[in-house]
């Protein structure tokens, strides 16, 4: 894959304004870069203004696009409303929202305080709800059609997963919101879709999900049929496609981008990968020799 080429044409998002929560780091930053390369103006928002300012300066320098850095805690609706107003004042209108901000850490659930559970639900579920409400209400009131919401979830939004239970509950809620609003808000010209990434290396996720020696003990690539991690550009291509008019008939979908990871875990016989190729003749002979029921 050519590292430097985007999937969409260079002007695919020209004139669009995209808000990306958690846009100063990790996957949010990568999506912001691709949006800018495709001609959009971007607002990146998260809690840490210094991180956002640094990211915005680097993005503007490397892409030549317009980047607004606005500090906002997505858990706080008033801050989200202020952010939404500020983006509108700066750019006039907003065309796409990427609910990407998240909080997560691994822990046996019985070790969690109620507050620890709540903080993840607040960031992931309520943060996505708050931004969706703030922008959705404006779009509906102003009769602005052709808007796109892209929610970043995970594959355990539908399978569930031990040791990240608050995140699994919150992401399941975000997926339910995605599918619900895809129907309810379609009449306003607002599409809602989700992306479920598999493992994509980022400092934020890796330091909290695979700290220290866990990184070596749980080689994520072994879980992925394609035998590798995701490339940020692959996810950014998908996100920008879902934001753009090219995906105008896709609504209520969750697109998995995980190299086949979750299906490998789900299929009961996928573990037979461990059978050596030269054993299969003997296995076949045994099966063919079975007589009766
Ligand atoms: C148990 C913990 C804990 C831990 C915090 N808490 N860390 N409990 N184990 N490791 C508890 C605290 O003791 C406290 O409860 C409560 O959680 C709130 O903690 P604070 O530190 O006050 O919260 P805050 O400063 O708001 O920080 C939020 C955070 C932090 C989620 C804890 O990690 C953060 O800011 N994360 C943002 C970025 C992030 O998480 N990125 C990863 C996304 S990756 P008490 O009861 O003591 O008050 C992702 C990938 C999914 O989602 C899929 C991968 C394949
Ligand atoms: P990341 O770099 O840690 O991104 C999380 C972002 O959320 C940070 O920029 C953080 O910035 C922001 N954030 C956290 N709490 C916030 C709050 N209260 N208000 C506003 N912003 C807040 O991790 P990432 O790996 O790129 O994750 C991005 C998204 O992808 C998340 O939704 C995650 O669940 C999803 N995902 C990632 C993977 C993966 O393998 N990396 C897999 C599946 C899903 P501040 O700290 O400055 O607030």
Q: What is the CATH number of the domain that holds 179?
A: 3.40.50.720
- Give me the catalytic one of 77, 156, 188, 241: 156
Does the residue 76 lie in any domain?
Answer: yes
Q: Ligand 2: list residues with CB < 6 Å.
A: 21-22, 24-28, 46-48, 51, 73-75, 100-103, 123, 127, 152, 154, 197, 199-200, 202, 204-205
Cα distances from 235 to residues 78, 206, 232, in angstroms, run 30, 17, 5
Beta strands in the chain (DSSP E): 17-21, 41-46, 67-71, 96-99, 147-152, 190-197, 254-257
List phi, psi (to 5°) of 163: 70, -5
For ligand 1, atom 2: residue with the closest CA: 116
Cα 195 to ligand 2 centre (Å): 14
Contact between 144 and 138 (Cβ < 8 Å):
yes
**Tens digits of residue pLDDT in 215-267:** 888 888 999 999 999 999 999 999 999 999 999 999 999 999 999 999 999 98
* Ligand with an atom nearest the CA of residue 235: 2
For ligand 1, atom 31: residue with the closest CA: 103
Cβ of 283 less than 6 Å from ligand 1:
no
Does the residue 206 lie in any domain?
Answer: yes
Does the residue 10 lie in any domain?
Answer: no
Total domains present in the chain? 1
Which regions of the chain are under pLDDT 50? none
Cα distances from 205 to residues 7, 20, 60, 62, 252, in angstroms, run 26, 17, 25, 25, 26
For ligand 1, atom 38: residue with the closest CA: 103
| CA-CA-CA-CA dihedral for 162, 75, 65, 239, to nearest 10 | 40
Quickly tell me which residue has 């969690």 as its tokens.
112
Give the Cα separation of 226 and 290 in Å (integer): 34
For ligand 2, atom 17: residue with the closest CA: 73
249 catalytic, yes or no?
Answer: no
Cα 109 to ligand 2 centre (Å): 21
Residue 3 confidence (pLDDT): 57
CA 40, 93, 240, 14 dihedral sign is negative
Residue 216 confidence (pLDDT): 84
Contact between 124 and 99 (Cβ < 8 Å):
no
103: left (phi over 0), alpha (psi -120 to 50) or beta: beta
Range of the domain at 67: 17-289
Contact between 138 and 182 (Cβ < 8 Å):
no
Give the Cα separation of 194 and 188 in Å (integer): 19
Cα 204 to ligand 2 centre (Å): 7
Contacts of 205 (CB under 8 A, 6+ apart): 26, 104
3-state secondary structure of 149: strand
Count of residues in the chain:
293
Does the residue 174 lie in any domain?
Answer: yes
Does the residue 69 lie in any domain?
Answer: yes
| CA-CA-CA-CA dihedral for 74, 77, 83, 88, to nearest 10 | 130
For ligand 2, atom 12: residue with the closest CA: 22
Cα 270 to ligand 2 centre (Å): 31
Does the residue 1 lie in any domain?
Answer: no
**Tens digits of residue pLDDT in 26-46:** 999 999 999 999 999 999 999
Cβ of 103 less than 6 Å from ligand 1:
yes
Give the Cα separation of 180 and 184 in Å (integer): 6
Residue 1 confidence (pLDDT): 52
Cβ of 201 less than 6 Å from ligand 1:
no
Residue 261 confidence (pLDDT): 97
Does the residue 5 lie in any domain?
Answer: no
Does the residue 9 lie in any domain?
Answer: no
Q: Residue 281, exposed/middle/buried by CB under 10 A (0-12, 13-18, 19+)?
A: exposed
Give the Cα separation of 175 and 156 in Å (integer): 11
């Amino acid at each position: 894959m050519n590292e430097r080429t985007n999937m969409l044409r260079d002007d695919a998002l020209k004139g669009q304004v995209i808000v990306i929560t958690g846009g100063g780091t990790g996957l949010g930053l990568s999506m912001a870069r691709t949006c800018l390369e495709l001609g959009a103006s971007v607002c990146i928002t998260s809690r840490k203004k210094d991180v956002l300012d640094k990211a915005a300066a680097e993005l503007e320098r490397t892409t030549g696009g317009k980047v607004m850095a606005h500090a906002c805690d997505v858990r706080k609706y008033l801050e989200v409303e202020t952010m939404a107003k500020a983006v509108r004042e700066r750019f006039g209108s907003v065309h796409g929202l990427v609910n990407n901000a998240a909080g997560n850490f691994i822990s046996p659930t019985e070790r969690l305080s109620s507050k620890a559970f709540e903080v993840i639900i607040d960031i992931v579920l309520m943060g996505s709800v708050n931004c969706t409400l703030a922008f959705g209400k404006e779009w509906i009131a102003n009769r602005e059609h052709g808007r796109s919401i892209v929610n970043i979830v995970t594959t355990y939004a539908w399978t569930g997963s031990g040791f990240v239970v608050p995140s699994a509950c919150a992401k399941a809620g975000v997926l339910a919101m995605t599918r619900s609003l895809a129907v309810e808000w379609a009449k306003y010209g607002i599409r809602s879709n989700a992306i479920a990434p598999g493992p994509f290396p980022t400092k934020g996720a890796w330091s909290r999900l695979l700290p220290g020696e866990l990184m070596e003990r749980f080689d994520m690539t072994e879980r992925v049929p394609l035998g590798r991690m995701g490339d940020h550009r692959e996810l950014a291509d998908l996100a920008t496609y879902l934001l753009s008019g090219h995906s105008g008939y896709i609504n209520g979908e969750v697109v998995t981008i995980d190299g086949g990871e979750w299906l490998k875990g789900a299929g009961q016989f996928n573990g037979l990968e461990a059978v050596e190729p030269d054993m299969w003749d003997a296995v076949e002979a045994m099966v063919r020799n079975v007589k009766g029921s």
